A and B are shown apart, each in its own frame.
Chain A
Amino acid sequence: MCGIVGFLDKRERVDFPLGRTLLEMMRPMACRGPDSAGVALFGDGGEEKLRLRLPVEISRTALSDALHEEGLMLMQSHPGGVYDARLVAEMEATDLEERLRRRWPDCEILCLGGRLDSFKQVGSPDELETAYSIAARTGSHGIGHTRMSTESRVDLSHSQPFWAHGLPDVATVHNGHITNYHKLRRRFEQDGYRFCTENDSEIIGVYLRDRLAAGRSLEGAMRSSLDDFDGSFCYLVATKDRLGFVKDRYGFKPLMLAETEDFVALSTEEIALRRALGRDFSAHEPPPGAMKLWSIHADNEENTQ
């Protein structure tokens, strides 16, 4: 099961009520994924920031000092050992992640980027709203997830969206099982990649990062994932200015797509589209093996199929 949703406003309005739209899409998907809920929103470009999960007891002063040493400024604390910080010094995301891990081996960067803001936790979309006031947040595009865990534990770390570790402003959500996950993970770990969870969905971001590092385009990486991933999957990718989907060659997992002059909306079930966006558009199920990528810039038509 699991429910995934995605939305992109084609009118290049960064003040679009994205949070409310994604939340309304996720609510009817809550029954597909009662374990946890999360969103990745892409808002107005700003300074690079990150959200960090730190499963150690530490005073705010000590944390602030420690982060300062790593070139970060502590901004805000959330329940469950989650902290927001701003990047003060310029550095590569991979280097920063490595440095933080050297300091706190169990630390995990939940998201990082100039536009990406991701919130996730155990519980329903309504509980996510209570904790983080998602509905009030604006942005041009984003993705959301409701999780029913099957293989790995239910906690914040194993919730989605997953940040594509090392790639600023890239997040994924996934419905299905990547059945060659262990094989792929072993290969990636031999190549030096680090995994934060035992959730098979985490492999998608790692895979895309690896392909991009090898010089492939995002579209090319998504296309080759159709061959390199086994199992059932529909996944969405969001970057600072793009939103895309990939659907496995057997069409095992459902995904509905609606595209109008104003927006692109994707969801596991049509009910999410109707509840959030009304009836004045048609929706269809892309064929098995389909993939597509949209840009938020109308004049920069990179849309591919």
Chain B
Amino acid sequence: MSFTIDCRDKTTREINRTMREAIAAGHQRIEVLEPDARHNLGVALLCPVDVVFSGSVGYYCGGMMDGAHLEVRGSAGWGAAESMLDGMLMIDGNAGSGAAASIRGGTVVIRGDAAARAGVSMKGGTLLIGGGCGYMTGFMMQKGRIVVCGDAGDALADSMYEGVVFVGGQIAGLGNDTVVEEPNADDRAWLDELLSTHRVQGPTSFRKVVSGRKLWNFDRKELEVWKAAL
């Protein structure tokens, strides 16, 4: 039996407060009806609970959460799951700029396309994009994995420290200090499992983008590398 919240005639604060009260009362599953692409829904949920949004959500849905499982039956605006510690955010449609920015753990699944700057500064976790992604996806990422089934935009994974980006389609342009490798057997097994777990139709093969590690330490002899990056 799930707890239902109808967003009509409620302020965003009332919706989030009702959600917290329902969780405190022991409800394990919450359905949020008519979210109408409002901002800041389901932010900072710090316990395992299932929340389903029946339509599109606005900015920062599921931001800073820890352990909740959110499903969006529509699209998401900017900064979906930003700074999430752990948990899962599933988006049926597309996601605006900065999806999964700075997450430290958990999984974000975007079945459609992600706009620019997806997964920037990721510090862990997994971002799975069923479609393509915009420019500067994975910019300065430090850990974690980004999987793009479709095409990737320009400056992919620019200045990444660590982590890995898998791309199934075309890459419009690689970012500074990135290296393209062939995925190994472990990578392929992990990708197969990820795609089948989330029922995402992936491409037949992926390319793997990792850090060239030239920007880790400043070297006067490689000044040109730094000039290009900065």
Contacts and interface: CB of A to CB of B under 8 A. Distances in A.
B36 A287 contact: no
B36 A274 contact: yes
* Interface SS of chain B: loop
B97 A254 contact: yes
Interface stretch (A88-96, A103-111, A119-127, A278-286): A278-286
A283 B116 contact: no
For this complex, into which size category does the number of interface residues on chain B fall?
20 to 34
Given A269-B58, A270-B56, A287-B115, A282 B36 contact: no
Interface string B103-129: 000000000110110000000000000
B63 interface: no
Nearest to A283: B75
A5 to B, nearest CB: 13
A271 B38 contact: yes
A287 B134 contact: yes
B48 interface: no
B175 interface: no
A288 B75 contact: no
A15 to B, nearest CB: 28
Given A254-B96, A254-B97, A270 B115 contact: no
Looking at chain A, what size class is its interface with the partner chain? Answer: 10 to 19
B163 interface: no
A267 to B, nearest CB: 10
Contacts of A270: 37, 56, 58, 75, 77
A22 interface: no
Contact of B37 (A250, A251, A274): A274
A266 interface: no
Contacts of A284: 75, 93-94, 112-113
Contact of A283 (B39, B56, B113, B135): B56
A273 interface: yes
A288 B37 contact: no
Contacts of A287: 115-116, 134, 153
A251 B93 CA distance: 19
Interface of A: 250-251, 254, 269-271, 273-275, 279, 282-285, 287-288
Query: Ordered nearest first, which 7 A-B pairs have the shortest CB separation?
Result: A270-B37, A271-B37, A274-B36, A251-B116, A285-B115, A284-B94, A274-B37
